[in-house]
Amino acid sequence: MFPVSPNYGSGCPCFPTPCAQAVLGSTSTPVPCPALPACVPPGVLPLSRRPPAWGRAARQPPGLPLALARAFSNNKILVELDESSGVATMKFKSPPVNSLSLDFLTEFCISLEKLENNRACRGVILTSAIPKIFSSGLDITEMCGKSTEHYAEFWRAVQEMWLRVYGCNMVMIAAVNGSSPAGGCLIALSCDYRIMVDNPKFSIGLNETQLGIVAPFWFKDTFVNVVGQRIAERSLQLGALHPAPEALKLGVVDELVPEEKLQERAAAVMAQWLALPDHARQITKSMMRKTVLDRLISHREEDIQHFISFTSKESIQKSLRMYMEMLRKKSG
Ligand SMILES: CCCCCCCC/C=C\C/C=C/C(=O)SCCNC(=O)CCNC(=O)[C@H](O)C(C)(C)COP(=O)(O)OP(=O)(O)OC[C@H]1O[C@@H](n2cnc3c(N)ncnc32)[C@H](O)[C@@H]1OP(=O)(O)O
């Protein structure tokens, strides 16, 4: 009997009988997903796993404690599910700036996966509990002065987060209530719709070049799919952070609202999207996103190796250290 993945547990759809991918050691191929049930292929969830719940929330699966279905919070993300509407809110609450650390990313993927497995949930609103910040992007300290094993683990978690959000069958809405650079912007871009607070002090964009690093191809693909080639090319090269009104003009976000109306508006937009038959919307979404998802899925290991060799370069380490130093000086 081979051992199972350390992440294998009651959250896995195949629990308590591990499927082939949950079993470690049967081949030399690494288990694809470190944080999530090994039996779920990374990327697009099979459409058959979503309930045919058009028009109303499906019933809670038997055996799941009701309290868990309504709200759960581990540490860095508060998750609330309104069973009557089938809409969950994932609120980032990782001070000071909701940076996407390995712990954050792991918790994010597990939380989203729990919602995916809950038949009562059809849509998710992503927002922040930290004033003025949606997410400050990838945690730069995870990319500085660490081992290659750490870089590999971290990058796999970043990939997993994107595959989960971009490939999610549920309706995903970003309620962007603060600044959202780089990885934070990627989360918003990966949703189906973006509503941002109408405040020019809040900015959003893929600013990697400002740090002396390069947005990976799947960040770029996601951006191009939202704003088009020309805007993406200029914005990416300049590492532009667009203040909210400019982000709206460029199509980086879909609408702006006053801060106090954000959650109400997100709920209203969600209701519009959920009024469509799930299967038709899901197949359409999958059709629109499949090529881009498949590109990373088929080059995942190569992408990790690229990340490791790029990040390990002394010149890149130096740029990241200088950037962190600049942030520290600014803050204190
Ligand atoms: C050939 C192809 C090869 C491909 C290889 C791929 C390589 C590419 C790899 C990765 C892509 C990278 C993606 C990213 O997401 S990188 C992160 C980009 N993020 C940023 O640039 C944001 C930086 N932060 C800010 O601008 C500001 O902090 C703010 C606007 C978010 C908030 O401002 P403010 O409220 O004034 O807070 P402070 O600046 O004072 O910050 C508080 C505290 O938090 C620290 N901090 C901020 N951001 C980060 C972060 N992203 N990671 C880690 N730590 C962060 C900041 O340093 C302060 O710390 P303190 O001084 O100790 O209090």
Residues 83-97 pLDDT 10s:
999 999 999 999 999
The DSSP bridge pattern shows strands 77-82 and 71-73 to be antiparallel
**Amino acid 306: pLDDT:** 97
CA distance 267 to 248: 20
**pLDDT score of 14:** 43
Residue from 94, 136, 190 whose mutation best tests the ligand 1 pocket (most atoms within 8 A of CB): 136
Task: Tell me how far apart the alpha carbons of residues 303 and 82 are, in angstroms, rounded to a whole number.
Answer: 38
| Residues with catalytic function | 138, 183, 207-208
How does DSSP classify residue 23?
A: B
Helices 148-166 and 278-298 pack at an angle, to 10 degrees, of: 160
In the predicted model, what is the mean pLDDT of the chain? 84
From the CA of 137, give the closest atom in ligand 1. Answer: 15
How many angstroms separate the alpha carbon of residue 53 from the centre of ligand 1?
40
Beta strands in 231-310 (DSSP E): 242-243, 255-257
Ligand 1 pocket check for 96: Cβ under 6 Å: yes
- pLDDT for res 133: 98
Q: How confident is residue 41, by pLDDT bands cut at 50, 70 and 90?
A: very low
**Chain position carrying tokens 């359409």:** 284
Residue 25 clears pLDDT 80, i.e. is over it: no
pLDDT of residue 251: 98
Instruction: Flag whether pLDDT at 42 surpasses 90.
Output: no
The amino acid that residue 42 corresponds to is P
Question: In whole angstroms, what is the distance from residue 78 CA to residue 93 CA?
Answer: 7
Is it the case that residue 228 has pLDDT exceeding 60?
Answer: yes
Is the minimum distance from the CB of 99 to ligand 1 under 6 angstroms?
yes
Q: What is the dihedral of CA 38, 41, 42, 46, to 10 degrees?
A: -130
Q: What is the mean pLDDT of residues 187-208?
A: 98
Task: Report whether residue 62 contacts ligand 1, using a CB cutoff of 6 Å.
Answer: no
CA distances from 43 to 89, 109, 272, 276, 292 (A): 22, 12, 26, 23, 10
- Indicate which residue's Cα is closest to atom 43 of ligand 1: 96
Instruction: Dump the DSSP string for 188-243.
Output: HHTSSEEEEES-TT-EEE--GGGGT----HHHHHHHHHHH-HHHHHHHHHHT--EE
Comparing 32 with 233, the larger pLDDT belongs to 233
Condensed to tens digits (0 to 9), the pLDDT of residues 143-190 reads 999 999 999 999 999 999 999 999 999 999 999 999 999 999 999 999
% of the chain surpassing 90 pLDDT: 77
What does the block give as tokens for 184?
């934070």
| Token couple for 332 | 């204190």
Sort strands 171-176 and 193-197 into parallel, antiparallel or unpaired. Answer: parallel
Is residue 152 within 6 Å of ligand 1 at its C-beta?
no
User: Within a 13 Å sphere around the CA of 282, how many CA atoms are in the beta-carbon half?
Assistant: 19
Strands 132-133 and 178-181: parallel
Architecture of the structural domain at 65-331: Alpha-Beta Complex (3.90)
Ligand 1 pocket residue status of 207, Cβ below 6 Å: yes
Distance from Cα 181 to the centre of ligand 1, integer Å: 8
Instruction: Note the pLDDT of residue 332.
Output: 77
Evaluate: CB of 235 within 6 angstroms of ligand 1.
no
With cut-offs at 50, 70 and 90, classify the pLDDT of residue 331.
confident
Report whether residue 303 contacts ligand 1, using a CB cutoff of 6 Å. Answer: no
Instruction: Report how far residue 241's alpha carbon sits from residue 93's, in angstroms, rounded to the nearest whole number.
Output: 23
Integer Cα distance of 116 and 323 in angstroms = 37
Report the distance separating Cα 151 and Cα 146, nearest Å. Answer: 7
**What's the CA-to-centroid distance between 137 and ligand 1, angstroms?**
6
Closest CA to ligand 1's atom 38: 331
Closest listed residue to residue 101, CA positions, set 137, 148, 127: 137
| CB of residue 218 inside a 6 A radius of ligand 1 | no
Measured in Å, residue 103 CA sits from the centre of ligand 1 at: 16
Question: For residue range 245-303, what is the model confidence (pLDDT) as tens digits?
Answer: 999 999 999 999 999 999 999 999 999 999 999 999 999 999 999 999 999 999 999 99
97, 150, 154, 306, best to mutate for ligand 1 pocket (most atoms within 8 Å of CB): 97
Here the ipTM equals 0.98
Instruction: Compute the distance from residue 29 Cα to the ligand 1 centre, in Å.
Output: 34
Distance (angstroms) between ligand 1 centre and the Cα of 97 equals 8
- Helices (runs of H) and strands (runs of E) counted in the chain: 11, 11
Binned at pLDDT 50, 70 and 90, residue 323 comes out as very high
Closest CA to 111 of 90, 129, 125, 85: 90
| Residue with the larger pLDDT of the pair 314 and 65 | 314
Ligand 1 atom 36 nearest Cα:
331
Domain boundaries, the chain: 65-331
Read off the DSSP letter of residue 51: -
Q: What mean pLDDT do residues 198-224 have?
A: 98
Is the torsion defined by CA of 8, 147, 187, 200 positive or negative? positive
Collapsed DSSP state (helix, strand, coil) of residue 142 = helix
